[in-house]
Amino acid sequence: MAQPTDSLPYVPPPTDPSDPHYEEHQTMLRESQRNWEYFEAHELEIFEDHPNEIAIVYGGGNVQYCADSHAVGEFLASLEEPHRSAVVFCTNMSADVAWAL
């Protein structure tokens, strides 16, 4: 049984095309897909060129490199919606560290 939407800890995405936020959400989804496809096509290049930085793919194929989480926050604050919600974060997962996902 579905939980009533007024008790969810987030606002569910709009699914009705008549909703004024519907097109913005669809734009974000399309850009997110383009960002992901760019990351997949350039993953090795991103990590070889900047192995110790956090890469943020945005705008359908732009990459911003950040040294730490503070720089990530500053960069994200500079983006407007829906671009901020569409970013893909990329970090190099070192083989000599235990990771739990």
Mean pLDDT along residues 78-100: 79
The confidence score (pLDDT) of residue 77 equals 96
Other C-beta atoms lying within 10 Å of the C-beta of residue 27: 15
* pTM more than 0.85: no
Mean pLDDT along residues 72-98: 84
What is the tens place of the pLDDT at every residue in 12-70? 888 899 998 899 999 999 999 999 999 999 999 998 988 889 999 999 899 999 999 89
* Per-residue CA distances from 24 to 5, 50, 69, 79 (Å): 20, 32, 27, 15
The confidence score (pLDDT) of residue 84 equals 93
Determine contact, residues 64/55, Cβ cutoff 8 Å.
yes
| pLDDT of residue 101 exceeding 60 | no
What is the rounded CA–CA span in Å between residue 46 and residue 30? 22
